[in-house]
């Protein structure tokens, strides 16, 4: 390890991460750091492996080679005298440290908005019911849905569902928030409401990794941008560096293809 005393240790560090589905590689030699409090945005074409990378960070997907480390703690593995996979109980505990927001919201359809938000605190963190409820109401109010606590997901619009999902992800008091294309499944008129909620959440200094197609939004919130293509990180750096003066030809092509202006 190189000594960089002036640079604080990253929240997450990914080293030489590799993964394949069958014989099709989806991640090849991916290395990146996510700094504490930073907003890292991963962009790239569909199928470039960016969602898989995100899901490897909290162990929703297992990794095949390389490593993911959260604040000194290897994800999915344990290093005692030799390296071995974590038992599923400990993996579940690790996942509690991450909030995850899905592209398709994935709210529990048999539970009301507040039940969705309370489930983790109640059953996983085992907080008392009145505390869990109070916190859930507070979170739903924060995402602008204080009046929709008792609504079932089917009665909510896509934008509202995604906001409940964000509240649910925050309910476990995670130290890292992961979002997988949080606005891609939304009708255009609902994108803005979800984006503004995301911005307010990020504004609190939460370490965040977002996968998105929306370059404008990415440029707006990112402190660090990662561009992926074909399972590799092609380019990463500040948003200005990647979006304004990309080094690689592929990045340039991608940006010109998706840029609205």
Using the minimum distance from each CB to other proteins, give the nearer residue, 6 or 88.
Answer: 88
- Strand-pair category, 83-85 with 207-211: unpaired
153 binds other proteins (CB under 8 A): yes
- Strand-pairing partners, residue 225, are 41, 237
Query: What does the block give as tokens for 116?
Result: 């969705």
Q: Judged by CB under 8 A, how many residues of this single chain contact other proteins?
A: 43
C-beta of 124: minimal distance to other proteins in Å? 5
Residue 223's nearest CA partner among 4, 35, 14, 15 is 35
Site for other proteins in 7-46 (CB under 8 A): none
The dihedral region occupied by 46, where left means phi > 0, alpha psi between -120 and 50, and beta the remainder, is beta
- Identify which range of 31-39, 160-168, 222-230, 235-243 contacts other proteins by CB under 8 A: 160-168
- Identify which range of 131-139, 145-153, 210-218, 219-227 contacts other proteins by CB under 8 A: 145-153
224-229, strands of its sheet edge to edge: 98-101, 176-180, 207-211, 39-44, 224-229, 232-237
Which of 62, 93, 200, 238 lies at the binding interface for other proteins (CB under 8 A)?
A: 93
C-beta of 251: minimal distance to other proteins in Å? 30
Query: What does the block give as tokens for 162?
Result: 């995604």
Q: Which chain residues interact with other proteins by CB under 8 A?
A: 58, 60, 88-89, 92-96, 98-100, 102, 104, 106-112, 119-120, 123-124, 150-158, 160-161, 165, 168-169, 171-172, 187, 190
């Amino acid at each position: 390890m190189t000594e960089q005393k002036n640079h604080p240790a990253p929240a997450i560090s990914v080293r030489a991460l590799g993964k394949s589905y069958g014989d099709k590689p989806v991640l090849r030699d991916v290395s990146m750091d996510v700094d504490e409090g930073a907003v890292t945005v991963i962009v790239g074409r569909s199928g470039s492996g960016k969602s898989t990378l995100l899901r490897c960070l909290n162990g929703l997907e297992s990794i095949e080679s390389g490593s993911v480390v959260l604040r000194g703690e290897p994800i999915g593995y344990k290093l005692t005298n030799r390296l071995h996979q974590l038992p599923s109980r400990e993996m579940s505990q690790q996942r509690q440290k991450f909030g995850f927001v899905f592209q398709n919201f994935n709210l529990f359809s048999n539970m009301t908005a507040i039940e969705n938000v309370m489930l983790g605190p109640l059953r996983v963190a085992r907080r008392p019911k009145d505390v869990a409820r109070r916190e859930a109401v507070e979170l739903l109010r924060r995402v602008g849905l204080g009046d929709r606590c008792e609504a079932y997901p089917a009665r909510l619009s896509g934008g509202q569902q995604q906001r409940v999902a964000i509240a649910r992800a925050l309910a476990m008091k995670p130290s890292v928030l992961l979002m997988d294309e949080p606005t891609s499944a939304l009708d255009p008129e609902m994108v803005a409401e979800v984006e503004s909620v995301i911005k307010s959440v990020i504004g609190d200094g939460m370490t965040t990794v977002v996968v998105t197609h929306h370059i404008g939004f990415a440029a707006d919130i990112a402190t660090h941008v990662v561009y992926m293509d074909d399972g590799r990180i092609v380019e990463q750096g500040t948003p200005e560096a990647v979006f304004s003066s990309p080094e690689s030809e592929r990045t340039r092509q991608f940006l010109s293809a998706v840029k609205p202006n």
